[in-house]
Amino acid sequence: MVGRPTAASLFLNDRCPEKAQFFKLNVIKSIFIIGNVPDLDEENERTGLRKRMSDAMVLRGLAKRTQESYLACVEALAKYYWRSPDTLDGEAIQSYLLHLITEKKLAYASVNQAACAFRFLFGTVLGRETARFDIPMAKVPKRLPLVLSRDEVSRLFAHCKTLRERTLLETVYAAGLRLSEVCALELSDIESAPDRMCIKVRQGKGGKDRYTLLSPRLLDSLRLYWRAFRPRRWVFPNRVGDGPIYDQTVQRLYGAVRDAARLPKGGGIHTLRHAFATHLLEAGVDIHTIQRLLGHGHVSTTMRYFHLAQSRLTGTTSPLELLTPT
């Protein structure tokens, strides 16, 4: 007996034409074999839920990665209950968030990301009243990120096996780029005129453009790399050359070099961005300049690097030393 596709399956597979067609064929089979005609109006409404959410995110200018993350969170919710998300209530959502914390052992930041996705779906897309549909946000423990010392960064570069690996990692560190930003970097973004010497970051986090540093040493590395590989559009294209390098490829590359250099694990390639900011601060660069280079919307985000700058700690005198000896 061929079953009727559930509302959850329609939400999950609306993005995949092959799977969507499979479920449509099942609907047709059920009509011919069993004779029961499904409520097509109801099914069409369920199928459109994913599109409604996608359209709402596009209209509000959410970043592409945010859109992908929100959809993945809602898909996981639908799969967990095997029901269309719009049939769930606040109690079901809270139970699912608790499941993510206690059973899936997800970090609180990941749980909050899911909560944000559900708030968007139920509040913005479905128009549920927040008073009747409270989705709690978990309190995220404040942990300082891992930061490599200058010697450790030098050791990392020394263990790169290829010119491509070294140039990519140097670019992230020298310019303080995010993973998505180094992947999307194009040749036209490298402004090497003597009176410019900067890198343009297009559509960074929050859809904002900005300029960051282009050091003479990095420019020399990029020119050497270009002469060896001759990339046409993206500075670091994928192996086929028809698009930018994949973020998973970059993370694997960083992990392999980090392990070869026997450096502390954790943080991924974003560790180099932390090192960029911390080392600038230790060199005496003011916090507002670092904020602009990193593309932070609020200086409070940048202020955490004060806690990471070792020179600020080791160069500070304890108040005990200021007391008059007795």
> In a structure prediction context, what are the per-residue pLDDT tens digits for the chain, which is 326 residues long?
444 445 555 455 554 555 444 444 443 333 333 333 334 344 444 458 899 999 999 999 888 888 999 999 999 999 999 988 888 888 899 899 989 988 998 888 888 899 899 999 998 998 886 545 556 666 655 666 778 899 999 999 999 999 999 999 999 999 999 999 999 999 999 999 988 999 999 877 767 889 999 999 999 999 999 999 999 999 999 999 889 999 999 999 999 999 999 998 877 999 999 999 999 988 888 889 999 999 888 888 788 777 666 555 555 555 655 566 65
Going across the sheet that includes 190-191, the strands are 190-191, 198-201, 210-213
Q: Are residues 159 and 266 in the same domain?
A: yes
Q: Are residues 300 and 159 in the same domain?
A: yes
Q: Are residues 190 and 98 in the same domain?
A: no
- Of 52, 270, 304, 312, the catalytic one is 270
Q: Are residues 11 and 116 in the same domain?
A: yes
- Cβ neighbours of residue 123 closer than 8 Å, sequence gap 6 or more: 130, 133
Whether residue 305 contacts residue 278, with contact meaning beta carbons closer than 8 Å, is answered with yes
Q: Are residues 167 and 230 in the same domain?
A: yes
Q: Is 210 marked active-site?
A: no
Q: Are residues 80 and 171 in the same domain?
A: no
Q: Are residues 179 and 117 in the same domain?
A: no
Provide the token pair at 256: 């392999």
Q: Are residues 305 and 158 in the same domain?
A: yes
Q: Are residues 165 and 58 in the same domain?
A: no
Distance CA 91, CA 195 (A): 59
- Of 155, 205, 304, 312, the catalytic one is 205
Q: Are residues 39 and 90 in the same domain?
A: yes
Distance CA 289, CA 275 (A): 15
pLDDT of residue 109: 81
Q: Phi, psi at residue 149, to the nearest 5°?
A: -75, 170
Q: Phi, psi at residue 38, to the nearest 5°?
A: -65, 160
Q: Is residue 268 part of a domain?
A: yes
- Cβ neighbours of residue 168 closer than 8 Å, sequence gap 6 or more: 182, 236, 245, 250, 253
Q: Is 270 marked active-site?
A: yes
Rounded to the nearest 10 degrees, how much is the dihedral formed by the CA atoms of 316, 317, 319, 322? -150
| Structural domains of the chain, count | 2
What's the Cα-to-Cα distance from 125 to each of 73, 187, 228, rounded to whole Å? Answer: 15, 39, 50
DSSP 149-191: -HHHHHHHHHT--SHHHHHHHHHHHHHT--HHHHHH-BGGGEE
Q: Which of 170, 198, 172 is nearest to 184 (CA)?
A: 172
Q: Is residue 160 part of a domain?
A: yes
pLDDT of residue 111: 87
Q: Which of 199, 169, 186 is nearest to 243 (CA)?
A: 186
- Of 258, 273, 274, 279, the catalytic one is 273
Q: Is residue 294 part of a domain?
A: yes
Distance CA 68, CA 62 (A): 10
pLDDT of residue 135: 62
DSSP single-letter state for residue 202: -
pLDDT of residue 41: 43
CATH code: domain of residue 223: 1.10.443.10
Q: Where are the alpha helices (DSSP H) in the chain?
A: 7-13, 17-33, 40-59, 64-81, 90-102, 108-119, 150-158, 163-175, 179-184, 216-229, 247-260, 270-282, 287-294, 299-302, 310-314
Neighbours of 110 (CB within 10 A): 17
Q: Is 305 marked active-site?
A: yes
pLDDT of residue 282: 86
Q: Is residue 107 part of a domain?
A: yes
pLDDT of residue 298: 84
Q: Is residue 42 part of a domain?
A: yes
Q: Is residue 12 part of a domain?
A: yes
Q: Is residue 2 part of a domain?
A: no
Distance CA 209, CA 300 (A): 20
Q: Are residues 187 and 118 in the same domain?
A: no
- Of 178, 258, 274, 279, the catalytic one is 178
Q: Is 200 marked active-site?
A: no
Q: Is residue 142 part of a domain?
A: no
Last residue of a domain, one of 90, 108, 125: 125
Provide the token pair at 67: 């859109």
Q: Are residues 169 and 309 in the same domain?
A: yes
pLDDT of residue 139: 64
CATH code: domain of residue 50: 1.10.150.130
Full domain range(s) for residue 24: 7-125
Give 285-294 pLDDT, tens digit per residue. 888 999 999 9
Provide the token pair at 298: 């609020």
